[in-house]
Amino acid sequence: MAISLTGTRVSAIALPWFVLATTGSPTMTGVVAFVELAPYVLVKALTGPVIDRLGPRVVSWSTDAVSAVAAGLVPLLHGLGLLPFWLLLVMVAVIGAARGPGDLAKEVMVPEAADRARVPMERATGLAGVTERLATTIGPMVGGGLVALLGPMSGLAANAVAFALGSLVIAVALPRGIGRAVAAPSAAGADATGAASTGVDATGGAVPAEPRVGYWRMFREGFAFLRGEPLLLTIIVMIAVTNLLDAGYMTVLVPVWAQETGGGPAAIGLIGSVWGIAAVAGSLIAAMVAHRLPRRAVFFVGFLLCGAPRFVVLALDLPMGVMLAVFAVSGFGSGFLNPILGAIQFERVPRHLLGRVNALGDSLAWAGIPLGGLLAGSAVALVGLIPVLLVCGGLYFATTTLSGLRPEWREMDRLRGRTPATGAATHAGSEPGEPADEMAARPRAAA
DSSP track, 373-396? HHHHHHHHHHH-HHHHHHHHHHHH
Place 417 in a pLDDT band, splitting at 50, 70 and 90: low
Question: Does any domain span residue 138?
Answer: yes
DSSP codes, 67-112: HHHHHHHHHHHHHTT---HHHHHHHHHHHHHHHHHHHHHHHHTHHH
205-257 pLDDT tens trace = 544 444 566 778 888 888 888 888 888 888 888 899 999 999 889 888 998 89
**Is residue 387 scored above 90 in pLDDT?**
yes
Place 64 in a pLDDT band, splitting at 50, 70 and 90: very high
pLDDT of residue 188: 41
Question: Does any domain span residue 123?
Answer: yes
Place 397 in a pLDDT band, splitting at 50, 70 and 90: very high
pLDDT of residue 416: 55
Mean pLDDT is highest, among 279-288, 381-390, 420-429, for 381-390
Kindly state the percentage of the chain with pLDDT values over 90.
14
**Is residue 187 scored above 60 in pLDDT?**
no
Place 194 in a pLDDT band, splitting at 50, 70 and 90: very low
Contacts of 123 (CB under 8 A, 6+ apart): 114, 287, 288, 290, 291
417: alpha, beta or left? (left if phi > 0; alpha if psi -120 to 50): left
What mean pLDDT is predicted for residues 77-91?
88
pLDDT of residue 429: 34
**Is residue 190 scored above 50 in pLDDT?**
no
Better pLDDT: 208 or 294? 294
**Is residue 440 scored above 50 in pLDDT?**
no
Question: Does any domain span residue 116?
Answer: yes
pLDDT of residue 422: 39
CATH code (residue 124): 1.20.1250.20
Question: Does any domain span residue 190?
Answer: no
**Is residue 428 scored above 80 in pLDDT?**
no
Place 340 in a pLDDT band, splitting at 50, 70 and 90: confident
**Is residue 258 scored above 60 in pLDDT?**
yes
**Is residue 318 scored above 90 in pLDDT?**
no
- In DSSP terms, 198 is beta-bridged to 208
Q: Taking each helix axis from N to C terminus, what angle separates 85-108 and 56-79, rounded to the nearest 10 degrees?
A: 160
Question: Does any domain span residue 202?
Answer: no
**Is residue 426 scored above 90 in pLDDT?**
no
pLDDT of residue 207: 45
Total domains, the chain: 1
**Is residue 93 scored above 70 in pLDDT?**
yes
Question: Does any domain span residue 118?
Answer: yes
Q: Which of 125, 122, 19, 33 is nearest to 78 (CA)?
A: 19
**With contact defined as beta carbons under 8 Å apart, do 153 and 14 qualify?**
yes
**With contact defined as beta carbons under 8 Å apart, do 348 and 232 qualify?**
yes
pLDDT of residue 241: 92
138-163 pLDDT tens trace = 787 788 788 878 878 888 888 899 99
What mean pLDDT is predicted for residues 286-294?
76
- What's the rounded Cα separation, in Å, for the pair 13 and 159? 11
Question: Does any domain span residue 200?
Answer: no
Better pLDDT: 413 or 71? 71
For residue 381, count CB atoms less than 10 angstroms from its CB and return exposed for 0-12, middle for 13-18, buried for 19 or more.
middle
DSSP codes, 390-429: HHHHHHHHHHHHHGGGSGGGGHHHHTTTB-TTT-PBPGGG
Question: Does any domain span residue 69?
Answer: yes
Q: Whole-number mean pLDDT of the chain?
A: 78
What domain range is 312 assigned to? Answer: 2-178+214-441
